[in-house]
Structure 1
Amino acid sequence: MRGTCQTSGSKSLYVSLLFLIFVLLESVSGRNLTFATLIYRHGDRSPIETYPNALHKESEWPQGFGQLTTLGMQQQHELGQYIKKRYSNFLSPTYKREEIYVQSTDVDRTIMSAQVNLAGLFPPSTSEMWNPQILWQPIPIYVIPKSFRPKLRYPIFDCPRYKKLLRETMASREFRDKIQPYRNFLKTIADHSGYDMRSLRNLYTFKVWNVQDTLLCESIHNYTLPTWATEDVKAKLEQLTVLSLSSLFGIYKREEKARLQGGLLVKNILENISNAAKYPGKRKMLIYSAHDTTLGALQMALNTYNEKLPPYAACQIFELYQEDTGEYTIEMYFRNDTSRDPYPITLPGCSFACPLQKFSDLVAPILVDNWENECRS
């Protein structure tokens, strides 16, 4: 009897599992990925700008300041391979110019990141190989000039209203409460770095950021660090850099800042996604090669920022699905850790698979029709 009961129970479990698999397959087959937008930070680079008392000068970096390193190339190549794997059933196995469009800021490191990313995404097949000694094929990258709207590089400082908001932010209780615990620490950093306290407290001089970034780059590439750059000091500098990023795009009047900064990119992304839903075509993917501040501005505008610095080659993903009902939904993911799957991100006020119309309604307050007029107001 006991054996009979176990066999009956096993059959019941087996039938239940089959039914569950059937339901899951029906669910999966009932929705289709129709469009994707990816925004990533460039790969590892040399420091942008060093601080006055730094041990190492620009001449000690192979290509000077702000340039993509070989490590950065490896990071972007890995990201390209990941994109190829993630969308293996969506994109064609070989490069099709109608399917993908790549844009970059007009900066060496982002252009080069896009190039090496595409090398990982579309290694040449036999028919595409033009030189058997070079496993690479040219793919166009469209560079966005500084004067273009909407920009990919943030913050945009040529906006009087935004600069006024930054001054208000630095005078606000919210900001003062957050920076007060670091007052003595900033005095110490001023002594070591050669910057004055006023510059270190100023949001749009990026001086704290320069110190933190320089030490990080030097640490990654095994340069000698100053004796005062302990683990505790580096950790506090990172916390202050996160505070700087948060203050640029949030903390105080986040929504209004978003209208003048990251909301421009949100509007551009939403317009492309909406057009893909209304007028399905051959275009399947848009890719933007940009910066940590681009991701920060975007995520702060969406109110999904995780209070961490976006690492090199971090990638924000937007995917448009058509459900079996015909409705379109948007899913968001953030890949900031190569050891695991990207983190799912939910837009506040919506479900993870957010209906396109609801997504559009929720972000409407941060979208602006006339940016120039709002900047002058």
Structure 2
Amino acid sequence: MVSAVSIVVLIALAGVVTTYSDGTKELVFVQTLWRHGDRSPTKTFPTDPYQEDAWTFGGGGWGQLSPTGMRQHLNLGKMLRAQYVTKYNFFPTKYNSKQIYVRSTDVNRTIISAMSNLLGQYGQNDSSSVAGVDYPDVAGWPVGYVPIAVHTVDDDTDHLGNMEATCPFRQQVWELAKTSAEVKNFTNSALVQSVLSKLTNYTGMAVDIDNLWIITNALYIEQIYFNDTIRQKNTWFTDDFFTQADRVNDQIQLFQNGIFNTSNIVNGHDVGVLTRKVRGGPILNDMVMHMNIKLSCQGQTTPNCTWINNLKNYVYSAHDTTIYAFFSALLIEEYAVKPAGGYPLYSAAVLIELYVDSVDKKPYFKMIYHEQDGSGFKDITMGIQGCPQNSAYCDLDILRNFAQTIKPDQPIDQWCFTNLNGHAGSAGVSMLLIGVILALQNNIFGLF
């Protein structure tokens, strides 16, 4: 005879039990995408008085996580623990290697951000972990600190987390976008030309819309660390001019993420859709794939389902560009919150919760945003087209359909090395997919 305890164990192994419910909706899976914390610039301009030797924290050099950045992710980790361990009782009380998987881009600042975050979740001296079991019981080891694996792949091939991974096709699409009337009119406007011309004169480099970000990003960070001297050492720097240049760069980033004010068809190609496919498409489809596998494996005990049945938390430790591409893929780029628009702030995080309704048996998702250190969690689900305005939950099919519209035409590691000139124009296909989404959302055929 099978005991009640055995049944509970079997059900748990099958992945169909959750410890948190909101009414009839049961939480079964969480995926998190966050930006690293505060850092040094990744590069700068030739005349900048603050060159690489000015940045000594985090091991020193370009693009390193600062102690402030480490603290920001420690704080976020504590918030995640308070939400999903203490409040929801969904994540395990102590680190369980089968229930969390952390993937980082292969750069120091994202790896160390992940380590700092996990320290906040599972590395505190709060008696949740046991010396000699979860960490060494030896002098010199921080009491309570549990090291947790952070996985990565080569940065040049990381098309999920690194929006600058090697991808000639993406560059071809951007070059095509720059020939469109909308981008050319913006680039050739008197304001933009004035900003680029002045910066070319000031910085010792030829500044265009492709490298303006280097200057605005360096100046943004230098205002945090060298605000007392930046105006004396860079005599041309003023708050007004920086704001002007930063706003120009914000608009460029919108274009580079496939967000245009008009339907931007160039040579038969919908450059907006193509851009969103090649940038945010891979990570959105990766998340949806995980949710589909999680759902299809419910109640299954086959070996290929064991990993996902056990898994409760999948984490991507990445960049502002990653979150921005993800937002743009869903056409909710307005949730980027840097003042005057632009990219997500340090330690920004998007959480996608997957639920199953115990009554209608359908899957739903909830999307939550953490804007920056010191912010709480904000529900942004209703910002997605087709999601209800009077509910925190949305039918998973809405997310699936968005993922389908911007799914790369081929596996991304192959598509990146195809030639745009041999790529069929996508405008007609894009309009068809948009029509399908509208039909599904509004059930205009009465079929769904």
Go from structure 1 to structure 2 and tell me whether the alpha carbon gap of 1:53 and 1:267 turns closer, same or farther (over 3 Å shift): same
- Which residue of structure 1 lines up, in the alignment, with residue 203 of structure 2? 193
- Which residue of structure 2 lines up, in the alignment, with residue 365 of structure 1? 405
- Residue correspondence of structure 1 range 260-271 to structure 2 within 5 A: 260-271=278-289
Is the 8 Å Cα contact of residues 40 and 315 (structure 1) preserved in structure 2?
Answer: yes
- Which residue of structure 2 lines up, in the alignment, with residue 353 of structure 1? 393
Q: 1:52: how far off?
A: 1.0
* CA–CA distance in structure 2, aligned partners of residues 321 and 107 of structure 1: 33
Amino acid across the alignment from 2:364: T
Amino acid across the alignment from 1:91: F
Name whichever of 88-97 and 219-228 sits farther off.
219-228
- Which residue of structure 1 lines up, in the alignment, with residue 345 of structure 2? 311
Go from structure 1 to structure 2 and tell me whether the alpha carbon gap of 1:238 and 1:249 turns closer, same or farther (over 3 Å shift): same
- Residue correspondence of structure 1 range 104-123 to structure 2 within 5 A: 104-123=104-123
Aligned to 1:282, which of 294, 297, 310?
310
Asked if residue 31 in structure 1 is aligned to residue 25 in structure 2, the reply is yes
Deviations 1:174-193 (A, max 9, x none): 22333423221221122111
* CA–CA distance in structure 2, aligned partners of residues 210 and 31 of structure 1: 46
- Which residue of structure 1 lines up, in the alignment, with residue 267 of structure 2? none
Gaps of 5+ in 2: 1-20, 265-270, 299-308, 335-340, 424-448
Go from structure 1 to structure 2 and tell me whether the alpha carbon gap of 1:279 and 1:120 turns closer, same or farther (over 3 Å shift): same
Deviations 1:251-280 (A, max 9, x none): 242211122221011111110111112224
3-state DSSP of counterpart to 1:137: coil
Deviations 1:167-218 (A, max 9, x none): 122222222333423221221122111222xx423x3xxx211111111111
Is the 8 Å Cα contact of residues 105 and 158 (structure 2) preserved in structure 1?
Answer: no
Amino acid across the alignment from 1:336: E
Deviations 1:101-152 (A, max 9, x none): 0000111111111111110111253413535751421110111223546431
Is the 8 Å Cα contact of residues 110 and 290 (structure 1) preserved in structure 2?
Answer: yes
Asked if residue 102 in structure 1 is aligned to residue 102 in structure 2, the reply is yes
- Which residue of structure 1 lines up, in the alignment, with residue 325 of structure 2? 297
Asked if residue 255 in structure 1 is aligned to residue 273 in structure 2, the reply is yes
3-state DSSP of counterpart to 2:90: coil
TM-score for both structures, normalised by structure 1: 0.85
- Which residue of structure 1 lines up, in the alignment, with residue 221 of structure 2? 217
TM-score for both structures, normalised by structure 2: 0.72
Q: 1:373: how far off?
A: 4.4
* CA–CA distance in structure 2, aligned partners of residues 342 and 232 of structure 1: 32
3-state DSSP of counterpart to 1:200: coil
* CA–CA distance in structure 1, aligned partners of residues 164 and 393 of structure 2: 29
Is the 8 Å Cα contact of residues 254 and 300 (structure 1) preserved in structure 2?
Answer: no
- Which residue of structure 1 lines up, in the alignment, with residue 69 of structure 2? 72
- Which residue of structure 1 lines up, in the alignment, with residue 306 of structure 2? none
Q: 1:367: how far off?
A: 0.8
Amino acid across the alignment from 1:123: G
Is the 8 Å Cα contact of residues 74 and 116 (structure 2) preserved in structure 1?
Answer: yes
Amino acid across the alignment from 1:109: R
Amino acid across the alignment from 2:393: A
3-state DSSP of counterpart to 2:49: coil
Q: 1:285: how far off?
A: 0.6
Aligned to 2:168, which of 159, 163, 172?
159
Amino acid across the alignment from 2:361: G
Q: 1:237: how far off?
A: 2.5
* CA–CA distance in structure 1, aligned partners of residues 400 and 183 of structure 2: 30
Is the 8 Å Cα contact of residues 37 and 317 (structure 1) preserved in structure 2?
Answer: yes
Is the 8 Å Cα contact of residues 144 and 151 (structure 1) preserved in structure 2?
Answer: no
Is the 8 Å Cα contact of residues 156 and 261 (structure 1) preserved in structure 2?
Answer: no
3-state DSSP of counterpart to 1:140: coil
Amino acid across the alignment from 2:112: M
- Residue correspondence of structure 1 range 75-86 to structure 2 within 5 A: 75-86=72-83
Is the 8 Å Cα contact of residues 150 and 268 (structure 1) preserved in structure 2?
Answer: no
More helix by share: 1
- Residue correspondence of structure 1 range 218-257 to structure 2 within 5 A: 218-222=222-226, 224-225=229-230, 226-250=234-258, 251=260, 252=264, 253-257=271-275
- Which residue of structure 1 lines up, in the alignment, with residue 290 of structure 2? 272
Aligned to 2:376, which of 317, 324, 341?
341
- Which residue of structure 2 lines up, in the alignment, with residue 16 of structure 1? none
Q: 1:350: how far off?
A: 2.7
